[in-house]
Structure 1
Amino acid sequence: MSAQSHPGRQRTTWLIFIGLCLFTFVNLMPLLWAVLTSLKDPRDAFTIPPTLIFEPTLKYHIEVWTENDFVFYLMNSLIVSAGTVFISVPAGSLAAYAISRIPRRSAGPILSALFTIRMFPHMLLAIPFFVMGTFLDMIDTYPLLILALVAINQPFTIWLMHGFFLEIPRDLDEAAAIDGCSNWQAFRIVILPLAKPGMTVAALFSLLLSYNEFLFALVLTGTDTKTLPVAIAAFGGEDISSWSLSAAGAIGIMLPIVVVMLLLQRHLVRGLTAGAVKG
């Protein structure tokens, strides 16, 4: 029976593998096309049928990094992303820990309210933030954009960390209290080290959400704090002759995040696995 079922399982495995390869290929096609476009001259980028054999050039990549204030916009994006992570993750962890330690009957409405806030369209929240920033004379400043991104990312961070804290037995809190720890000491000394994988995942997702944010950055920034997603939109997107430059800019904006994800890939997988396994 097992000998007969083995070929069937092997065939199913191969079908799943082929399906995943096709799915990955379809998702990577826009990226591959952008890479090829960034290495072509515009006259080669829009030929029909597409030109697959061409003389590659790094002209547009060099132009993006040296002549379009790309580094300045990159620094703005990194400042905003770092500020968002350093505020969102600690605050979200504290809130998630508190919610995880109250009765589920009380925690349910709080989590539902956070989930509802997360579903709000960004445009619905961008206008009040713009009005508030104008009133406080904070438009085109880092604090306003960082606080706005923390506000829209916080529900996700709390939901994510809440799941990790639920996996940590409450017996540890009680044991810490018996040893003389206050609630803060129990959280900082006992619980927080066990939740580090979850905090790593929360930090990475907060970094991605803030680094790629376009609408809030468009509405709340100006010449001094403009971030990369907003700046890239002005890199000749409407002029076909500048699409190679736009493609080079798109590749450039992606590189820092790719480097970060490659460096922290092990921690990301460990954190996601820890949050998915109970007991």
Structure 2
Amino acid sequence: MNTPAAPVFRFAPSPNGELHLGHAYSALLNARLAQARAGRLLLRIEDIDITRCTPQFEAGIYRDLAWLGIEWELPVRRQSEHLAEYEALLQKLIDAELVYPAFMSRGEIRAHIAEVEATGRPWPRDPDGAPLYPAADKTLSGAKRRRRIEDGAAFAWRLDTQAALARLEAPLFWNEFSDETLLDTRAIEARPQDWGDVVIARREIPTSYHLSVVADDALQGVTHVVRGRDLYAATGMQRLLQSLLGLPAPGYFHHRLILGADGRKLSKSENASGLAELRRAGVSPAEVRRMVGL
């Protein structure tokens, strides 16, 4: 008789600032759930944003997690070391004609939207409140696209979400655990269309958050994604990519957020909640656990 594989959890911070209480809660919760289920806990460093991620912040992540008493498996996966794997998946989407080169700059996007909104028509926005991409590039012929790329024009690969949805053979859902016991799940309808044509990769970096995260979860055999409620809606887009690329879908639990004094989600710029600052102030790991409700 085959023994069921141990469940695999992961904590995946970006080294673009110091960890705060919200990160502490997510890391501690993942560690507790993995231990309770005799599972594995992986640490992933999501460092594809080369302009903001630094070795200093990465070192701080290891230091803060060790201070909290969290243990993780080695080696740590660093996304910047696996760009070829992401590029291979990007090429599948290019070959399937599910992505297109988007050439509009941020200034051009803002000007286009302002022009439309000046007529009294509201511009659609994604679940995070950002305006959807105008997608005018989809009308360009293949020859014009190639010419602009050969001429060195800046562009990003964007998913043709409408075309991607048309490829699906059945409605798209994900399994959401009902609570921290991870015993019961409910099917949640995925709504990737709410995000419009998201960036899948950039010319200089052949990946994006959405592409990297589904690739990593599949390659690392992650079975349980436990992360903040702020990423709940993004799961719909990630489920679409999993379906298009033939990748397995883990179960998801989107936990409560740790809020600041103003009632908003904590930011890495808020030093008062930073773990390094709390440690310097004499706060103990046990007190951090109490602060986040664990």
Q: Same fold (TM over 0.5)?
A: no
- Which TM-score applies when normalising by structure 1? 0.23
More strand by proportion, 1 or 2?
2
The structure that is helix-richer by fraction is 1
TM-score, length basis structure 2: 0.22
Where relative contact order (Cα < 8 A, 6+ residues apart) is larger, the structure is: 1
Q: Name the larger-Rg structure.
A: 1
